[in-house]
Every structure is written in structure tokens, then in C-alpha cells.
Amino acid sequence: MARQHDFLNSLDTFCATAKTFADRVEGAAAFWKGQARMAAYNTGIDLHGRLKDVHAWGMTLVQNVGQNVSVMHNSDLDSAQSFNALGGGDTAIST
């Protein structure tokens, strides 16, 4: 009877230890799950910010190219008109 009692006490201690271990594993899993969610959220914010920067850079580039093309086009027209006004060229350029 004493052996059975010792065995049951040992088994009870083992089960309590296993439950404590399982609780700690579950707590650690919840912690790391939270860390993973936070990292994913921060990565999403960072990626969104970078995409906004790329979009702004692209819009600036398009605007600058558009202005340069417009300036070059107007400059070419001015040069051609000046050339025609001085009597050069066979074609009249109309704007």
C-alpha cells in the first residue's frame, strides 16, 4: 500500500510538472505569436511608407520629364520661328 501511495504521489507530481511545462509552452507560443504579428504589422507599415516614397519619386520624375519636354518643344519652336523670321528656311512654322 505504501508503494502504491508513493507511486500515486510521484505520478501526481509528474502530472503537475507536465501541466506547468505545458502552460509555459503555451505562454511562450502566445508571446512569439504576438511578436510575429507585431513584426508583420511593422513590416507592412514600412513597406507602405517605402511604396509611397517610390510613388512620390516617380511622380516627380514624370513631372520633371514633362516640363523638360515642354521646355525643349517651346525652345525648338522659338528657334524655328526666329530662323524663319530671319529669312531662313522654306517652311513656315505655325503655332
Average pLDDT, the chain: 77
pLDDT at 2: 72
Is residue 91 over pLDDT 80? no
How far is Cα 20 from Cα 74, in angstroms, rounded to an integer? 81
Distance of CA 62 to the CA centre of its chain: 22
pLDDT at 84: 57
Nine-digit cell at 83?
Answer: 530662323
Residue identified by cell 510613388 is 55
pLDDT at 56: 86
First to last CA, the chain: 114
Is residue 94 over pLDDT 70? no
